Amino acid sequence: MGFKVGIVGIGTVGTEMVRALRERGFPADEIRVMARSERDEEVAGESFHVVEASADAFDGLDFAFFAGTEGAKGASQLYGWEAVKRGAIVIDNGDDFRMDNRVPLVIPEVNGEALKGHQGFVANPNCSTIIALMALGPLHRAFGIRRFVASTYQSVSGTGRAAIDELERQIRQYAAGEALTGQVYPHQIALNVLPHIGGLKDAMPGYTSEEAKMLFESRKILGDPAIRVSATCVRVPVFYGHSEALNVEFARPVTPEQAREVLEAAPGVRVVDELPAGRYPMPIHVAGKDDVLVGRIRADGSAANGLALFVAGDNIRKGAALNAVQIAERLI
């Protein structure tokens, strides 16, 4: 059962992929790390000889994980289908092929059946989509979603290592009474929130690409093109963990108690919903963890069959690396 695994990119997501493979006992007898240049590097506590990414570097691999952070372009466009031709199953964390009709877009706990008949190329959804649909997927199966509104609170790790460093530097600068400097974001991120993630989306005037992904990816994953979605995506000064406020309109009546029962039985979901005791999902409780937390489950009287809830999950773990590894496990 030994598989040969390649990982393209050793940034925040690639490092977490190595960690997830090891922690879950993935049956890999080789992990081949690829990047722009050849070198020796420590990744997740292991020493690797990193090889330069090239078409030939994919020879002999069973799985090839493309670990680019959200918005990183190029690697899977250059080498994705070439890796498939050379015998590897590609699992791509980037957004280049998510809406490609040839490519399943998969959250294993939600639509793992979409892997049937794959053509050797599978896409990871966007991190905020994964975290939302871990809760909404089971509820959609039970009650049918007609519409949802998502307001996201997304950590800086979704932008990559440079953004993590920038937030840490700005916190230190603020504490020292110094001027805050930044290059990653157009405004300071410490002590601030930025309602702007991604580029402008011409097909949806006024919306960003991150907000459009929530609409189009959710429809594809849930298999329902009629679902209506409105999202506002906000970057917040948190290192790890995306949180989301979700207001959902269902086709059938649903009570908070019924929703909790469904969510408590959902794999990969943990209900944390005791408002009087101050227990609810927070990013500090999901950093480095596999489960998506769901709480603040309550009726939403502004919509027919309405429900409001709050979710949080680690965007680098379940929102990227872990989901990709779970796809490989499901294929095995």
Beta-carbon contacts of 178 under 8 Å, excluding residues fewer than 6 positions away, are: none
Provide the strand spans (E) within the chain.
3-8, 28-35, 39-43, 46-52, 63-66, 89-92, 121-123, 145-154, 228-235, 242-250, 269-271, 292-299, 306-313
Alpha carbon separation from 289 to 27, 66, 72, 268, 284 (Å, rounded):
21, 21, 24, 10, 10
Catalytic-labelled residue, pool 49, 118, 196, 242: 242
Q: Would residue 233 show up in a list of annotated catalytic residues for this protein?
A: no
Q: 3-state DSSP call for residue 169?
A: helix
How far is residue 61's CA from residue 65's CA, in Å, rounded to a whole number?
A: 10
Sheet holding 3-8, edge to edge: 39-43, 46-52, 28-35, 3-8, 63-66, 89-92, 121-123
Q: Max CA-CA distance within the chain?
A: 58
The residue among 226, 243, 224 whose CA lies nearest residue 234 is: 243
Catalytic residue among 118, 127, 140, 285: 127
Is residue 242 flagged as an active site residue?
yes
As a three-state string, the secondary structure of 74-136 is CHHHHHHHHHHHCCCEEEECCCCCCCCCCCCECCHHHHHHHHCCCCCEEECCCHHHHHHHHHH
DSSP summary character for residue 243: E
Q: Which amino acid is it at 41?
A: E
Q: Tell me which residues are annotated as active site.
A: 127, 242
